[in-house]
Amino acid sequence: MTPPDQQWQNPLRDPRDKRLPRIAGPCGLTIFGVTGDLSRKKLMPAIYDLANRGLLPPGFALTGFARRDWADQDFGQVVYEAVKEHARTPFHQSVWDRLAEGIRFVPGSFDDDEAFDRLADTVKHLDAERGTGGNHAFYLSVPPSAFPTVLKQLSRSGLTDQSGDSWRRVVIEKPFGHDLESAQHLNRIVNEVFPEDSVFRIDHYLGKETVQNILALRFANQLFEPIWNSHYVDHVQITMAEDIGLGGRAGYYDGIGAARDVIQNHLLQLMALTAMEEPVSFSPQDLRAEKVKVLSATKPVGPFDETTARGQYTGGWQGGSLVPGLHEEGGFASDSITETYAAITLEVESRRWAGVPFYLRTGKRLGRRVTEIAVVFKRAPHLPFDSTMTEELGQNALVIRVQPDEGVTMRFGAKVPGTSMEVRDVTMDFGYGHAFTESSPEAYERLILDVLLGEPSLFPVNEEVELSWKILDPVLEHWAARGKPQPYKAGTWGPPSADAMLARTGRVWRRP
Ligand code: BG6
């Protein structure tokens, strides 16, 4: 079999039309942590959606492993309910029936040798019964503290052994560590059991259509690249705002906080795609080389008391209802210093970006749910208008709307109708929903399919993960020494320090 990386290298050796649907070869997927939210809301529905789109092999097998006294049928029922509730595509009984034939369940805990031996037997039987051909991926949708045990068990029970053309892969969910040191430790443990090219670290933002569109926008057009640099760009704002709170997620979130939860991964990946140089090709190696280069050149800007902000939400009005604050939701220690809002300032030390701040912010219970990248341009060096005519003229901006309402907006000045030459900001919009008829697949559909196909482009390698921690660690250390974050009311746009950090350079956050 051609190693996955080489499948991308030489188009002459692979004349297949890349627009044709890519269908996974014979294989099975085992999920650890099937009782969790992620499995139920994202993974199981995504597997059904892939089956529904005809992208899974006919003998595909899905095995669940958990500490439950379930038979195959009980697990099948759990998957069925998850699919009914959360699948993106319409339910077809025939598709479900075919998928259900390949569903298996292995009860057991992670420290139970016998359970893993049973899993190894199940996998062997699947090869014989369903023709999965020895090709199996193991999805660790479990707390990071369980990674080492599960990985050791997979290795001990022979589940990591690949023979001949068959493959074994592991899929790891974030958080990839807690800081640089723990990430390095985790990477060592993973690489003791799986070679790096068999490790797929999920950053589900990279599976979003609009995130991939950053590459199309930048590198398929002539229009933007010439002005994509410090001569024209004033600053970049990357926002991931959520309206939801943390009810029920305290166990995961307390002690982690907004910066570790999403800046270390999703937002730094968005920044890397926005700031990187054009890759030689879209092969996994070339793409990663550029991301690694730009992450290596990225540093947090200090002094952190002035250039960063962090907050914790309190109760307030949001979307017409009164919602509780973090500490009324339960699960958080009353003296918890975990932030639910985080904003940082970064600089990229390169010729292209010298002097251009990149502001990254994220928060729970903010004004509304929106993720966007706004490239804000410098003002025109000269305005040949009467100054009163341009009072309402802002800065040009190109905004990539990642979600919801996926698309791109351009903001520029236009003449206000009338006898005077007054100029005001207007916007020009591209909306995915209007321009294309087909709806975008869910990020997890794309990423699970890529795992089964062995296509690693959209998965960060350990170097990217470690570099991201290196960028964030100094800020986290500073915050840890500062105690409690500033409170902000639910439904607002974060703590006062967030506005202050931009105001010091005369800038303001966008209110999407
Ligand atoms: C996850 C974070 O990675 O992304 C969550 O752990 C967050 O805290 C989620 O809510 C948001 O994902 P999306 O796709 O809804 O923007």
The pLDDT value recorded for residue 333 is 86
Range of the domain at 435: 206-440+467-503
* Positive or negative: CA dihedral 126, 127, 131, 132: positive
Number of Cβ atoms within 10 Å of the Cβ of 140: 21
- Distances in whole angstroms, Cα of residue 63 to Cα of each of 91, 107, 120, 342, 491: 21, 10, 11, 38, 41
Domain shared by 168 and 210, yes or no = no
Q: Is residue 8 part of a domain?
A: no
| Cα gap 465→503, rounded to integer Å | 31
**Omega of the bond leading into 404 within 30 degrees of 0 (cis):** yes
Domain shared by 246 and 339, yes or no = yes
Q: Which of 231, 266, 382, 434 is catalytic?
A: 266
Task: Considering only the C-alpha atoms of the chain, give the largest distance between any 2 of them, rounded to a whole number of Å.
Answer: 84
- Distances in whole angstroms, Cα of residue 287 to Cα of each of 40, 212, 295: 32, 12, 13
Helices (H), 276-348: 284-296, 304-307
Domain shared by 234 and 153, yes or no = no
Residue 482 contacts residue 472 (beta carbons within 8 Å): no
Domain shared by 158 and 251, yes or no = no
Annotated binding site: 67, 174, 204, 208, 242, 261, 364
Nearest one of 153, 143, 80 to 114, comparing CA atoms: 153
With the most atoms of ligand 1 within 8 angstroms of its CB, the residue from 204, 208, 263 to mutate is 204
| Cα gap 238→359, rounded to integer Å | 6
| Cα gap 278→496, rounded to integer Å | 37
| Token couple for 425 | 């900001």
Domain shared by 302 and 349, yes or no = yes
| Cα gap 151→187, rounded to integer Å | 12
Which ligand 1 atom minimizes the distance to the CA of 403? Answer: 16
Q: How many residues does the chain have?
A: 512
The pLDDT value recorded for residue 4 is 45
82: left (phi over 0), alpha (psi -120 to 50) or beta: alpha
| DSSP-assigned beta bridge partners for residue 322 | 317
Domain shared by 165 and 30, yes or no = yes
Domain closes at, from 173, 196, 219: 173
Residue-wise pLDDT tens for the chain (512 aa)? 444 444 444 444 455 666 677 899 999 999 999 999 999 999 999 999 999 999 999 999 999 999 999 999 999 999 999 999 999 999 999 999 999 999 999 999 999 999 999 999 999 999 999 999 999 999 999 988 899 999 999 999 999 998 889 999 999 998 889 999 999 999 999 999 999 999 999 999 999 989 999 999 999 999 999 999 999 999 999 999 999 999 878 888 888 999 999 999 999 999 999 999 999 999 999 999 999 999 999 999 999 999 999 999 999 998 889 999 999 888 888 889 999 999 999 999 999 999 999 999 999 999 999 999 999 999 999 988 888 888 889 999 999 999 898 999 999 999 999 998 899 999 999 998 888 887 788 999 999 999 999 999 999 999 999 999 999 999 999 999 998 999 999 999 999 999 999 999 999 999 88
Q: Is residue 232 part of a domain?
A: yes
Domain shared by 214 and 106, yes or no = no
Structural domain count, the chain: 2
Domain shared by 223 and 159, yes or no = no
> Which protein residues are within 6 Å of ligand 1, measured from CB?
242, 261-262, 371
Q: Is residue 182 part of a domain?
A: no
Residue 398 contacts residue 410 (beta carbons within 8 Å): yes
Annotated binding site for NADP(+): 67, 174
Domain shared by 218 and 104, yes or no = no
Which ligand 1 atom minimizes the distance to the CA of 371? Answer: 16
> Atom 15 of ligand 1 has which residue's CA nearest to it?
242
Domain shared by 90 and 38, yes or no = yes
Q: Is residue 179 part of a domain?
A: no
| Token couple for 34 | 């099937």
With the most atoms of ligand 1 within 8 angstroms of its CB, the residue from 239, 261, 340, 440 to mutate is 261
Active site residue 266: yes
| Cα gap 163→185, rounded to integer Å | 28
| Token couple for 366 | 């903010």
**Omega of the bond leading into 303 within 30 degrees of 0 (cis):** yes
Distance 284 CA to ligand 1 centre (A): 24
Q: Is residue 48 part of a domain?
A: yes
Residue 3 contacts residue 109 (beta carbons within 8 Å): no
With the most atoms of ligand 1 within 8 angstroms of its CB, the residue from 173, 174, 239, 242 to mutate is 242
The pLDDT value recorded for residue 1 is 44
Q: Is residue 195 part of a domain?
A: no
Distance 173 CA to ligand 1 centre (A): 12
Cα distance from N-terminal residue to C-terminal residue, the chain: 48
